[in-house]
Structure 1
Amino acid sequence: MRMRCVGWKIKTRERYGGPFNTTTDFPLLVIGNTAGMAFLPPLSLLINPFTDPVTPLRGAQKAAAAFPNSVLLTVNTPGHCSLAATSLAASKYIQNYFRDGTLPPPGTICDIENKLFGPNNNFHGRSNLEDRSLV
């Protein structure tokens, strides 16, 4: 995929240059994903299961470490976007954070209900209305 904006000569006047590691008034919830290739078994020996060339998990780990009292919520899913796959557990943690500031326990890893690629296990057909509204 070609990004047409790469060659643009426009520079912003409001560019923030730091500091990037500071104490925030409220702890941050940082969300990252493993971008695992568990759904491509023939390639599993060739591809590191914890890589995403655009937004690797280590970037989320560094971001969470830079802000005191912040927590990294990891979603065990392939792809580029942490919330692209259905994860009821992740959705509940995110809802709790925005509702009352509750952070998940450090080291929390949420699995997904539906694989992005491969057979679908019909999460929406077997879940209640409240859970479906979250995802």
Structure 2
Amino acid sequence: AVQKQMAERQKKYAGSCTTNRYPFTQKIRCACCGKYYRRKTTVTGVVWICSTYNTKGKKYCPTAKQIPENTLLSACCDVLEISEFDAEQFAEQIEQIQIPAPNELQFCFSDGTEQTVSWKDRSRSESWTAEMREKARQKKWRQS
């Protein structure tokens, strides 16, 4: 009975695993451990993170830092000198993105040239919406 159930489940779930491909898939490489960055959806939004850091932790990849996807898209637009991100143009012109240090992106172009871009982290105060501020104010007011 168990063998029959296992066979049924194998038929039901065989081939259902899909691997999503994004423009940055296998393009962003961690300089610390050499692994590719992967896409991850968090509470604050979509980020790209070193796969070693994500699975094993900071001990195994101490310099890795997650990159917000919006920051990545913006940096690509700046480097490619375009107003809106174009996946095809990105794939044609960018061979790889290295992460040599936290908050630093090194774009390696298909023609052999390189360009380094830095970004600043968004401060915590900037991430608060008006609704969040009001909720915190109400909570503080009730406590006092």
TM-score tier, shorter chain, comes to under 0.3
Report which of the two has the higher share of helix. 2
Report which of the two has the higher share of strand. 2
**TM (normalized to structure 2)?**
0.26
Bigger Rg, which one = 2
Q: Using CA pairs below 8 Å that are at least 6 residues apart, which structure has the higher relative contact order?
A: 1
